[in-house]
Structure 1
Amino acid sequence: MNEAPQNRILVLGATGKTGSRVAKKLANQGIAVRGAARTGADIHFDWNEPATFESALRGVSGVYLVSPVMRVDFAGVVSRFLDEAERAGVRNITYLSAYGVEHAPAEMALRAVELDLAARTSLSHSILRPAWFMQNFSETFVKPVNDEIVVPCGTGAEAFVNAEDIASVAVATLSDPVRHAGRAYAPTGPEALSFDDAARLISVAVGRKIRYRDVDRNAWIDAMVRAGVPAEYGEVLRSLTETIASGHGSRPNDDVLLATGEAPIRFEQFVAKAAPACR
């Protein structure tokens, strides 16, 4: 027999960029949180181990849903997880998708999960489709190396969004699911910046010249695959970088303000705090 759902939120990816921030912000509001990850969280959870789903979902009313990372074939396992969530009595899901996914074909995994959620009448849901994270410049693949930012995006611009703002939107939807039921938010920063713009602002923050260097896309993807990125995910990176390079990157909107009542964090504010990591 399932344990009656409590006002407890399950946060998947609780040690990751957004999940860690979502868990912290929920706890700061006095909301009970169960963080789930492969290691380092309240409970062990692994997308490759469906046996971990039931215990993670037991006694929770809402879920911050983060799909398996570095994969493109996850729609089936996420659907299995959502089946388990329904059986456990979960009432609402906030799903971390990606910018522009509403225009993607139905067979694309992120879009397939969105459509799966929309078809489940027993679960209310909200969808987050954020722009590229500002934290990519301090934590992951566009972090300056040897004073260079190397990524094949040409002169294209992107409305980079702070992961703190993504988390704030997620917390708004999880703490008041009735208000946000059926809503899709596309969190962005307040301005669209080229990578040259970003390099200039990082230079000011760290006190030395950081340069942006465009690079051949195929060579860049090959280097990412050699560094450990799965080959199939390399094609996702190809699409993401092509979108920006072609002038179709995200553009600023009011979704952060609409969902949270607070203006989004500016890139200058982000780099002022993240400067040590960018050095």
Structure 2
Amino acid sequence: MTESPQTTLVLGGTGRTGSLLAERLIERGRNARTAARHGAAVPFDWDNPATHADALAGVDSLYLVTPVMRVAYADQVAAFLDLAEAAGVRHVTYLSTYGADHVPPQIDIKAVEADLAARTTITHSVVRPAWVMQNFADAHLPVINGAITVPTGSGTEAFVDAADIAAVAAETLLAPEVHDGAVYAPTGPQALTVGEVADIITAVTGQSVTHQDLDPEAWIDGAVAAGIVPADYAVMLRWLTGTIITGHGSTPNDDIEKVTGQKATTFREFAQRNAHAWMATAEV
């Protein structure tokens, strides 16, 4: 008799890494149950605990994506992990953030990592990606009036493709015993300024794109005033941009190739694959 494949609950299952991860797991013969507030296989809302137990039913592993646009959530996540353990989850892969060791104390990224490390009945892996390339092709850092507006100065970042993040996460979930306790920091193969990113988009699309730098506090205040982010999230934006501005952005490593056997996607390859996103913007 053939055993049924194991099931991974993918939080953020309609998101940039979660949707791609679910596809990879299914291709490799594992059940992947996507969970999100809308549009996923099962409803899941961090603020509605009534959705948690059903999402976890029959699940043995978990892709943990914490509440978005928040900085304080460790207690909420801990309660969910307690429930997950009781439901039979035995491995968790956590989508963390590059440089989490240096995160400001107001942000609970490192607290969740510590919580997972302290649990003895489950194994865990941590994925700490650099800024994702998809930021430039969606509403996070869109091209508006021919410019990418973000305060990063002349600092560089090894921007990474969400597909590569998903590929790393998939390996940790498919072979948790191999990756137990591992911390991976997926990056792209090049450290680029946002100006260089704009140059690549220009070369690929034929549409002129530049980087518009500005005062970080003005940018953050504008995002809060416009309701794009809540006021307490300003500390996260300040940390993320400040890290790049001060020359401490992510630097290329070989974690993607080490874990998956495949080389990391270059930004030019990503731009060629997603040129339609910027062409559509130019036509509006």
Amino acid at match of 2:76: V
Superimposed CA distance per residue, residues 60-88 of structure 1 (whole angstroms, 9 cap, x where no aligned partner) = 11000000000011101000010001101
Partner of residue 86, structure 1: 85
- After TM superposition, the runs of 4+ consecutive aligned structure 1 residues lying more than 2 A away are 102-108
* CA distance in structure 2 between the partners assigned to 1:34 and 1:210 by the alignment: 39
Amino acid at match of 2:254: D
TM-score of the pair, normalised by structure 2: 0.94
Cα distance, 1:107 vs structure 2: 6.1
* CA distance in structure 2 between the partners assigned to 1:73 and 1:233 by the alignment: 9
* CA distance in structure 1 between the partners assigned to 2:119 and 2:106 by the alignment: 18
- Gaps in structure 2 of 5+ consecutive residues: 280-284
- Tell me: CA distance 1:106–1:120, structure 2 relative to 1, closer, same or farther (3 Å): farther
Q: How does 1:16-27 map to 2 (within 5 A)?
A: 16-27=15-26
Partner of residue 268, structure 2: 268
Superimposed CA distance per residue, residues 73-132 of structure 1 (whole angstroms, 9 cap, x where no aligned partner) = 110100001000110111100000000102336663110000000000001000000000
- Tell me: CA distance 1:78–1:116, structure 2 relative to 1, closer, same or farther (3 Å): same
Cα distance, 1:276 vs structure 2: 1.2
Cα distance, 1:238 vs structure 2: 1.2
Partner of residue 187, structure 1: 186
Identify which range, 196-205 or 136-145, moves more after superposition.
136-145
Partner of residue 47, structure 2: 48
- Alignment RMSD (CA, Å): 1.3
Identify which range, 111-120 or 142-151, moves more after superposition.
142-151
Q: What's the secondary structure of 1:167's corresponding residue? A: helix
* CA distance in structure 2 between the partners assigned to 1:103 and 1:218 by the alignment: 20
Superimposed CA distance per residue, residues 136-181 of structure 1 (whole angstroms, 9 cap, x where no aligned partner) = 0001322211110110000000000000000000001001111111
Question: % of aligned pairs identical?
Answer: 51
* CA distance in structure 2 between the partners assigned to 1:6 and 1:276 by the alignment: 37
- Gaps in structure 1 of 5+ consecutive residues: none
Q: What's the secondary structure of 2:188's corresponding residue? A: coil
Q: What's the secondary structure of 2:126's corresponding residue? A: strand
- Tell me: CA distance 1:120–1:187, structure 2 relative to 1, closer, same or farther (3 Å): same
Q: Tell me if structure 2 keeps the 8 A contact 1:6–1:60.
A: no
TM-score of the pair, normalised by structure 1: 0.96
* CA distance in structure 1 between the partners assigned to 2:255 and 2:205 by the alignment: 30
Partner of residue 11, structure 2: 12
* CA distance in structure 1 between the partners assigned to 2:102 and 2:195 by the alignment: 28
Amino acid at match of 1:262: Q
Aligned residue pairs, count: 275
